[in-house]
Structure 1
């Protein structure tokens, strides 16, 4: 794997107990389970931690966030957002998160450390109101696509990855598995 000094943080955020609201966390879980990353890449299940993410965010040079967004698209539409578009999409208050991403980034800025690059891969949800650990079938089907764009972003930022094998299994345990039986 290549070595690079750019510290890359892949941050999946959301609440896995509310259907599609957990999409970002599910992407982070899948990436961690399937791939081993170069030492400069960290994959983090940010859940609904809000301001508790300040430390990991401040330590990153390149932040890739995965979350649901209400961006006036069709359910399942994937958006790569940054700058003003990121601010508009993250400003919605229908999230289950304790503190929205913009507030957390603003707090990092006040402390003098924000990543050089902040990219949000947002997906338009189908259902983020019902309580269920299962993603909607539409978003379940989008997991591979979003994982692919995140992996390309990692490579572009100077990180690398390889598929996990029996000799390098994931160390992270998934405590609330997706119930994919509801998606059949």
Structure 2
């Protein structure tokens, strides 16, 4: 797949580990309601799952103007709290593919504006597969979606 859009809305995470599925689940919700709430033509949504570092960030496209990343982040907030984080708020290597030999942080490979819409998780600690978001994170999705729509205006 080619990511030829000026704005990418990227859901990162693993739906098999409770709140870690926030990004992909939010992307799915956006895509299911595009008839009622369309995105501009220059915007592409991507459920990147756990493959974002390898398949997306390692292949930057000069046409990208903004990358909007939906993900969980422990920023010390209340479970379900949603914040916008900048590239500088993300720990070095957060989106690094752990199997890669590259030492470059993928977020540094593009000159596009990076916006991270992050949700404070309630539960990602289980070593077992637990499908589905916690209630607090599920309730945060509408706010995160509204933030996406605010951000796609470039």
TM-score range, shorter chain: 0.7 to 0.9
Instruction: State the Cα RMSD in Å.
Output: 2.3
Q: Report if the CA contact (8 A) 1:63-1:115 is conserved.
A: no
CA distance in 2 between partners of 1:83 and 1:54 (Å) = 13
Unaligned runs of 5+ in 1: 1-5, 158-184
Distance 1:18 1:152, change over 3 A: same
CA distance in 2 between partners of 1:56 and 1:151 (Å) = 25
Which structure is higher in helix share? 1
Structure 2 length-normalised TM: 0.79
Distance 1:78 1:63, change over 3 A: same
1:11 aligns with 2:10: yes
2:121 is matched with which residue: 115, 120, 125? 125
Bigger-Rg structure (1/2):
1
| Equivalent position SS for 1:138 | helix
Unaligned runs of 5+ in 2: 99-103
* Structure 1 ranges of 4+ moved more than 4 A: none
1:115 offset after TM fit, Å? 3.9
